[in-house]
Amino acid sequence: MISNKVTFPPLKIEEIINFSDYPITDLSQKKSIDLINNCRQQLQEQGCCILSNFLTTQGLFNAQEESKKLAPAAYYAKRRTNAFKTDDNPSLPLDHPVRFFMERTNAFVPQNKFAPDSLFLNLYHAKIFQQFIATCLKTKVIYEYDDPLAGMVLNILPPGCQHPWHYDENDFSIVLMIQPALDGGIFEYARNIRTPNNENFPLVSKVLSETYEGTKKVNLQPGDLQIFYGKSSLHRVTKTIGDRQRHTAIFSYTRKNNVIGKITDTKLLFGQTTSEHEQK
Ligand SMILES: O=C(O)CCC(=O)C(=O)O
Ligand SMILES: [Fe+2]
């Protein structure tokens, strides 16, 4: 039976993660090894790995209740942006992707709005969760952000909103679907578009004009977890349709320790900075 008690008592990690399908407490057992090999294969072949029903029924219920409570605290800053989050460059031809601006109407709830007993923070800080993600990524260890706002966030898209084509700062992202839109609000991505040395503008143009055949759609269901290489793959969330907000929880970790967001990005995303940002 699902209890609708949300904040008290907080769920334990074994009540949040669906350990029957995702036995990640002991990564040396056969079932876990198969799971990790499958994730690695998806990441290698598709640049994206989907773990369906990652949460228990009760975990998902509590996550949905918590995200409903937190959603009004999201920071909205409707703005026009290009895929690179840079200013326009009038010296370039009009059809250059740097000059292609789109509306960004999604909003983020920053980490400092989450309650201390938050289910999302509990999962974000959980060492077994971190170890599992690191192993899927073939990395020894991953670190939490040293950033009081950007480590754990909710991405909120009210009806008629979109999160247009962009790259992430971080090379990998972890996204948990909490509540999809009634229609639209689909995550789309084009993998391996750029490398550190080559922005590959011709391919970006194709993605932006929706003529690139390699663009894939991911239709996540509530409780599904996605691991994704967002720094090299161009991606977006399409416009939400219908009278229901789209909520996702985004867990940001890094391969390096002591990472904190840039002041300009932080202001743009959350409408605020903290003393930690000022000191960096
Ligand atoms: O909400 C999502 O599905 C992905 C959001 C995203 O790409 C981001 O926050 O950078
Ligand atoms: Fe992203």
Alpha helices in the chain (DSSP H): 13-16, 30-46, 57-70, 119-125, 127-136, 201-208, 263-270, 275-279
Residue 265: band (very low, low, confident or very high) from pLDDT cuts 50, 70, 90? confident
Share of the chain above pLDDT 70, in %: 97
pLDDT tens digits for 211-220? 999 999 999 9
How far does the centroid of ligand 1 lie from the alpha carbon of residue 199, in Å? Answer: 21
Tell me which residue has tokens 């754990």.
152
Report the number of secondary-structure helices (H) and strands (E) in the chain: 8, 17
pLDDT tens digits for 186-240? 999 999 999 999 999 999 999 999 999 999 999 999 999 999 999 999 999 999 9
The number of CA neighbours under 13 Å toward the Cβ of 58 is: 17
Q: What is the mean pLDDT of the chain?
A: 94
**Cβ(187) – ligand 1 distance below 6 Å:** yes
Q: Tell me: pLDDT of 5 over 90.
A: no
Point out the ligand 1 atom lying closest to the alpha carbon of residue 168: 10
User: DSSP 3-state assignment of 216?
Assistant: strand
Residues 220, 177 contacting (CB under 8 angstroms):
yes
pLDDT tens digits for 67-92? 999 999 999 988 999 999 999 999 99
**Cβ(248) – ligand 1 distance below 6 Å:** yes
Residues 49, 39 contacting (CB under 8 angstroms):
yes
Angle of helix 30-46 relative to helix 127-136, nearest 10 degrees?
A: 50
How far does the centroid of ligand 2 lie from the alpha carbon of residue 174, in Å? Answer: 10
Residue 264: band (very low, low, confident or very high) from pLDDT cuts 50, 70, 90? confident
Share of the chain above pLDDT 90, in %: 88
> 13-279, superfamily in CATH?
q2cbj1_9rhob like domain (2.60.120.620)
ipTM higher than threshold 0.95: yes
Residue 279: band (very low, low, confident or very high) from pLDDT cuts 50, 70, 90? confident
